[in-house]
Structure 1
Amino acid sequence: MPRFSLGHMPTPLQPLQRITSYVGGPRIWIKRDDCTGLATGGNKTRKLEVLLGDAMAQGCDTLISQGALQSNHARQVAAAGAVAGLKVHLVLSDAVPDRQADYARLGNIQLCRLLGAHVQVVPGDSDSDALCAQLAQDLAGQGAKPYLIPMGGSNGIGALGYASAFAEIATQMHALGEPLDAVVLATGSGGTQAGLMLGAALMQWSGQIYGVSVSPDYALAEKRVGKALDEASALLGLPTEVARRVPLIVDEAFKGPHYGVPNAATYQALELAARQEGVLLDPVYSGKGFAGLLAACAAGGLLHGARSVVFLHTGGAAAMSVYPEVGATAILA
């Protein structure tokens, strides 16, 4: 697949020594995909390198995508369009309840506008797929050549970015002389987990890709991940059973009351990472994923007996300003 270079790769892999001691289980490492460099970074950069490669190979001049108001994906699409000289249209849904007015004007949405994207805000129950399709039709009628990017960049093309990312993680761990028993990540639209599973299958790796849901239940996660896996397999000419060799794991215990709404476990994970390791997570994705990591690696957790576990930091700290409650009071004793 053609690629358009956007990120700083390979991203760092660093040990979390104090967190490892705190948990008392396997050695814990963090893969810093928050350091991809594209407008504060994040995991979508890897997907967008392949998606923009496809868009530009087709001669497209406009990107269309969607997400919530504080979408990390939307921010990175806006930045990718700026780098590539493409126009960007974003359909952002007001899908997170009970937030303050600043939620709709600061953080990621502010950066989207700064980066030059055309932003359309719609109610949370809107059919964003239909709205994006109609927008593509309207822009094509005006002479543009639009390229539709799904929520989170999570289709088969986007997943290929994380198939190669798995190889990057495995290579880094091998160079350190460390075993790799599991990779833990926050999972939402499913493309990142699908890509990691595909990469793991291609390398015939026998560990666990441990997804921690930020919103979807297992059935929806299975549908999203499976669709991206099947599309990626078709692009590579692989039988679907090859990509599905790695079992799907989705832990629903840390998704909280709603997408974009943290709970006590999220706040504790955010504070622990910041105060023990100087690592900034986010309240929507990586904070929930890290909460799942801590529980899985602690005594009685599914990964407690592992030797080395890598947490994939997917970025998102750009949204911290619209969660003023984070850090306002101490969660840890």
Structure 2
Amino acid sequence: MTDKIALSTWPTPLEPMPRLAETLGLREGDLWIKRDDLIGLGGGGNKVRKLEWTVGAALAEGADTLVTTGAAQSNHARLTAAAGARLGLDVVLVFPGTPQSATGSSGNLVLDSLFGARVFWAGEGDPSALAGVADDVCEQLRRTGARPYLIPFGGSSPLGARGYLDGGKELLAQLADIEHVVVALGSGGTMAGLVGALGEERVLGVHCGAVAEPAVAVADLAGALSRRNHTPGTLRIRMDQVGAGYGVLHEPVLEAIQTAATTEGIVLDPVYSGRAMAGLIAAVRDGELRRGQRAVFLHTGGLPGLFGHTQTVHRSVAALHTYEAV
């Protein structure tokens, strides 16, 4: 069995959100936030829980280089780079596009560089081909004498999902009477682990557009984790917050980010946690989450990505309040 390694200190805080609850028409004690954005490694975020397992497997196999894929503003890539830095491992990140397409970018790309990761730019082809490109990169590394270990997109594998099997149990120990846990659904591993710990009926995933068939991805991962069947149609997944697509600002998401910031001082990102909050707000409005029910919002992190998302930055600066002396 793979040994889990320690990359942070647990548990992460669980905090009430009374002002947001009141704004949404809920009771003061109805809404809570699980602060996985405060995980200490590399700027924080949910991917650290997965990396404790996947990097543990890499070390067990004698790897000296971590390889993974993602978009240029990938939170998973940033945290893989941070884990490599902490453990003395080389890291190669395989991104779509070219160095020129990233010119002027900030956010996670800056941190990838600070952590010492190298980027292999795969060109402007089909993003779905990244996994094959990453395999080729691993083969090239082997020919140079390196010992690479390939971590899948988003860290989402049955092994990585164990991180949120642990996280769900941690959450239950903090607040036993949970009726809803709302979480961003990207590559599927976080939701799958939570389903394993909490059951399908309590976990509400908000699709972010990262994979084509999110319900299938979660069901497959949850099934492999628990060794029992999970049917995609029985999972609770909202599909209404993707908008024009992954990486494109969706107006309800900007509103959700602003609402969380102005009521609770909580910062969300426009791709994952912002979409999850937009899904939570929509679920309250349409009655899926009701007054008197205990709901937890899982904050998956992603703050650096906010500063690499030009649409959100420009819109936020344009809306900046001005004080005029009287």
Taking structure 1 as the reference length, the TM-score comes to 0.87
The unaligned stretches of length 5 or more in structure 1 are: 234-238
Cα 1:160–1:266 change in 2 (3 A) is same
Q: In the alignment, what sits opposite 1:59? A: 62
Amino acid across the alignment from 2:219:
G
User: By how many angstroms is 1:136 displaced?
Assistant: 0.9
- Amino acid in structure 2 at the alignment position of 1:87: D
Q: In 2, distance between residues paired with 1:266 and 1:245?
A: 25
Q: Partners in 2 of 1:139 and 1:38 — Cα distance?
A: 26
The aligned residue for residue 129 of structure 1 is 131
Q: How does 1:39-54 map to 2 (within 5 A)?
A: 39-54=42-57
Q: Aligned with 1:113: secondary structure?
A: helix
Q: 1:29 to 1:92 in 2, by over 3 A?
A: same
Name the counterpart of 2:204.
210
Aligned to 2:294: 308
Regions of 4+ moved over 3 Å: 243-247, 329-332
Alpha-carbon offset, residue 325 of structure 1: 2.1
- The residue identity in structure 2 corresponding to 1:220 is E
Show the counterpart of 1:236.
Answer: none
SS of the residue 1:240 aligns to: coil
1:325 counterpart = 2:314: yes
Question: 1:229·1:244 contact (CA, 8 Å) conserved in 2?
Answer: no
Q: Alignment partner of 2:270: what SS? A: coil
Amino acid at match of 1:240: R
SS in 2 for 1:257: coil
Q: Percent identity?
A: 40
Where do residues 90-101 of structure 1 align in structure 2 (5 Å cutoff)?
A: 90-94=93-97, 101=103
Q: Distance in 1 between matches of 2:68 and 2:243?
A: 26
2:181 corresponding residue in structure 1: 183
| Counterpart for residue 108 of structure 1 | 108
In the alignment, is residue 240 of structure 1 matched against residue 238 of structure 2? no
Matches of 2:278 and 2:95, distance apart in 1: 27
Aligned residues: 311
Structure 1 residues 140 and 216 mapped into 2: Cα distance closer, same or farther (>3 Å)? closer
Q: Could you tell me whether the CA contact under 8 Å between 1:214 and 1:256 is conserved in 2?
A: no
1:155-304 aligned at under 5 Å gives the runs 155-174=157-176, 179-201=177-199, 207-215=201-209, 220-233=213-226, 239-241=227-229, 247-298=234-285, 300-304=286-290
Cα deviation, residue 313, structure 1 = 0.4
1:53–1:28 Cα change, 3 Å: same
Write out aligned runs for 1:22-33 (5 A).
Answer: 22-25=23-26, 27-33=30-36
SS for the counterpart of 1:68 is coil
Q: Within 2, Cα distance between the matches of 1:263 and 1:255?
A: 7
Kindly provide the amino acid, as one letter, of the partner of residue 80 in structure 2: V
Distance 2:256 2:228 in 1: 36
- Do the aligned partners of 1:16 and 1:28 also contact (CA within 8 Å) in 2? yes
Q: Distance in 1 between the 2:277 and 2:172 partners? A: 20
Deviations 1:230-283 (A, max 9, x none): 3323xxxxx323x66994111111112110112110110111111110001001
Distance 1:146 1:101 in 2: 28
Q: Distance in 2 between matches of 1:12 and 1:317?
A: 17
The alpha-carbon deviation at position 207 of structure 1 amounts to: 4.0
Q: Which runs of 5+ in 2 are unaligned?
A: 322-326
Tell me the residue number matched to 1:4.
5
Quick one: structure 1 residues 254 and 228, their matched pair in 2 at CA, closer, same or farther if it must change by over 3 Å? Answer: same
- Mapped partners of 1:76, 1:100: distance in 2: 19
Find the aligned partners of 1:182 and 1:282 in 2 and give their Cα distance. 21
The structural deviation recorded for 1:328 is 2.4
CA distance in 2, matches of 1:331, 1:170: 39
